[in-house]
Amino acid sequence: MAKRKSTVAQAQPAPPAVPEIPVDQAMMDLSNLSGQIQHTTQSDVSGVAPPAFAANELNQDPQLIQDFLVEAREHLTNVEGRLLEIEQGVHTAETLHSAFRSFHTLKGLAGFLDFAVLQEVAHEVESLLDMARNGNLVLRPATVDVVLQSGDYLGVWLNYIESSANAKPAATPGDHMPLVERIRAAAVPEAAGDPDCESLSNPATEVPVQGPAEGSAAVAEVTSGGRRSESALVKVDTSKLEYLVDMVGELVIAQSMLRHNPEIGGVRSPRLQRDIAHLTRITAEVQKTAMAMRMVPIGQLFRRMTRLVRDLARKSGKQAELELIGEDVQLDRNIVEELADPLVHMLRNSMDHGLEGPDERQAAGKPAAGRVRLKASHQAGLIVIELTDDGRGLNRQKILEKAIERGVVKPDAQLTDSEIYHLIFEPGFSTADKVTDVSGRGVGMDVVRRNINKLRGRIEIVSSSGTGTTFLLKLPLTLAIIDGLVVVVGQDRYIVPIFAVREMFRPAPENLFTVEGRGEMAMVRQKLLPVVRLSRRLGVAAKSEDPCEGLMIVGESDSKTFCLLVDELAGKQEVVIKSLGATFRDVRGIAGGAILGDGRVGLILDLPTLVGGLAHVA
């Protein structure tokens, strides 16, 4: 507890009737009071422990108590910070939610340990803040004061609990009932229009009014308790983190070279074997931890979108509420950063093209406020980010017409719904009749596709006319590691990302064909697939020109299937992707480098550019 050391007691006069009292003065009042309290409580020390502090086996456990104190104090610090932001008018809707969540968590923690007084006070404040964030109560300076005082009161309790646990009971906190009374009094909505009661009018208190409660409630439900407070975190320079990851990678290689050293392998010593196994385990653990340090929850990105939706709604005169689900889902911070742009563009698209205006929505029998849902979840080793709106849906016909008009699609082309929807990612493609300052220039969705491709992700669209559109972004957990096949061509080893590999086979002459003397094809499971000789693509010499002495890898990229001819397979390895740096940015077909098991560099193939020239087959 930093700034406000004052406590609250019975002697507290009626809450300041005139809300214009400057904060400083209020603080002074409180600090005067704390002097009195010190005085009164001093004489109370001899008194018995308050009845609320009923001993049970949980609240006698020193470890539990310690954890509780740490966490509770973090929440109180958070509450204080948030309330001061509210008071100063520099805050967003999240500020109030955050304060609310802290009290909610405090209540839960206190209840778990049977600290009834704490639970009761936290509960009262929670109810008050709940009303405020639902727009049923206008936060006035006096209300903020009461909440702050409650925080201080809980702080005194925490000190008391701590000292009791150390068998040196400090001053008992005063009775909580007068405080509870005042919280309840503050929680009574006052008649609107009272000129004296200048509300802390600002975005936060208005947001709940604009977006009905369910949406905002969902935000709180999902995140409550899931986030750790700032003080438990250390900010680390990313370059240090990258250096650590590099060094750990080198450690793993050094360890593996040691383990496979034939001289060490020749030593018949159970002890040496055990020590090496131990080293291996620890190395693997260190590597895992180093990798996990790059992961951050996606919530921080999601919460930024709350503000965007609000602003866009204002600008376009539409009503919208944003629901956030799965804020705790962790992914690589690089991905989170790269996702910011696509998400902004997609939200703009949903808000501008997807959601209808309130009148149109009501005419269609929908609630006036549109619903936009942003959801993150894990699915089969991927992160799936879902953006759903309940707007008018994509207009299949209009997109097709525009595409034909622009010559992107032939008039007689037979396209699936999904193919048509993906047309909206074409550069400069827009079905908007008028260009607004929000969107309509056909730039945004092109950016979305490019960024998602860069993240090795996929986009899927589900849409139905009149009921809305869902964009699904499927992304890898991390950009740092891929599973790859190590293949050999000529003198060098290359890594083929395994997510693009379907199967492998050794070609036989009867399966190979030449089409009009131009391209080579291979028959795989009754399908003719184009053959890409890696050696020719990369301009290196293969071991043999005869494909039957090599190995075919059936790969898939950009919805094209093809056979990649390599000399041989050297193994499968999970590799850390290293950038080749600014120097090799233009090398086509190479996505990056990776340190192989022997410490040498292998090049990671970039299949989309490598097979980019292929005709569209299968």
Partner 1 sequence: MQSASVIDVPAGRQRQGKYLVFQLGKEEFGVRVVKVREIMGLQEITSVPQTQDFVRGVINLRGKVIPVIDLRRKFRLDDLEDTQRTCIVVLQVAHEGGDIMMGVIVDGVSEVLTIQENEIEDTPEFGDDVQMPYILGMAKVKGAVKILLDIDQVLTNNEIRGLGRETAMETEASFDF
Distance separating alpha carbons of residues 600 and 245, to the nearest angstrom: 17
Q: x-or-dash pattern for partner 1, window 256-295, by CB under 8 A?
A: ----------------------------------------
User: How many residues bind to partner 1 according to rule CB under 8 A?
Assistant: 52
**For residue 264, with 0-12 CB atoms within 10 Å meaning exposed, 13-18 middle and 19 or more buried, which class applies?**
middle
List, in sequence order, every residue forming a beta bridge with 593; answer none if it has no partner: 578, 603
DSSP secondary structure string for all residues of 29-91? HHHHHHHHHHHHHHTTTTSPPPTTB---SGGG-HHHHHHHHHHHHHHHHHHHHHHHHHHHT--
Dihedral (Cα; 278, 280, 284, 285), 10-degree rounding = 10
Nearest to 315 by CA among 135, 436, 444, 440: 436
Shortest reach from residue 470's CB to partner 1, in Å: 17
Shortest reach from residue 539's CB to partner 1, in Å: 5
DSSP strands (E only) in 534-614? 551-557, 560-566, 568-578, 590-595, 601-605
Shortest reach from residue 585's CB to partner 1, in Å: 6
- Which stretch, 238-246, 288-296, 315-323, 357-365, contacts partner 1 (CB under 8 A)? 238-246
Query: Which of the residues 395 through 424 are near partner 1 (CB under 8 A)?
Result: 408-409, 419, 422-423
* Side chain identity at residue 203, one-letter code: P
Binding of partner 1 by 428 (CB under 8 A): no
Contact between 406 and 420 under an 8 Å Cβ cutoff? The reply is no
Q: Kindly state the DSSP code that residue 298 receives in the 8-state scheme.
A: T
Shortest reach from residue 184's CB to partner 1, in Å: 58
Query: Which of the residues 479 through 508 are near partner 1 (CB under 8 A)?
Result: 491-493
Shortest reach from residue 543's CB to partner 1, in Å: 16
Residue 299 or residue 593: which is nearer to partner 1 going by CB?
593
Determine which residue in the list 81, 249, 297, 457 makes contact with partner 1, applying CB under 8 A.
249
Q: Kindly state the DSSP code that residue 12 receives in the 8-state scheme.
A: P
Binding of partner 1 by 11 (CB under 8 A): no
Shortest reach from residue 461's CB to partner 1, in Å: 10
Roughly how many angstroms between the first and final C-alpha of the chain, as a whole number?
66
Binding of partner 1 by 518 (CB under 8 A): no
Name the strand (E) or helix (H) holding 296.
Answer: strand 295-297
Q: Kindly state the DSSP code that residue 354 receives in the 8-state scheme.
A: I
Binding of partner 1 by 603 (CB under 8 A): yes
Query: Would residue 442 be called left, alpha or beta, if left means φ above 0 and alpha means ψ between -120 and 50 degrees?
Result: left
- Which stretch, 1-9, 90-98, 243-251, 339-347, contacts partner 1 (CB under 8 A)? 243-251
Binding of partner 1 by 585 (CB under 8 A): yes
- Which stretch, 33-41, 66-74, 247-255, 341-349, contacts partner 1 (CB under 8 A)? 247-255
Shortest reach from residue 355's CB to partner 1, in Å: 25
Determine which residue in the list 541, 558, 572, 574 makes contact with partner 1, applying CB under 8 A.
558
- The distance of Cα 400 from the centroid of its chain, to the nearest Å, equals 34
Determine which residue in the list 305, 529, 538, 564 makes contact with partner 1, applying CB under 8 A.
538
- The distance of Cα 153 from the centroid of its chain, to the nearest Å, equals 35
Contact between 607 and 617 under an 8 Å Cβ cutoff? The reply is no
Determine which residue in the list 8, 161, 595, 607 makes contact with partner 1, applying CB under 8 A.
595
How many residues comprise the chain?
618
Binding residues (CB under 8 A) for partner 1: these are: 243, 245-247, 249-250, 408-409, 419, 422-423, 425-426, 449, 459, 491-493, 537-540, 558-560, 578-590, 592-593, 595, 599-603, 609, 612-616
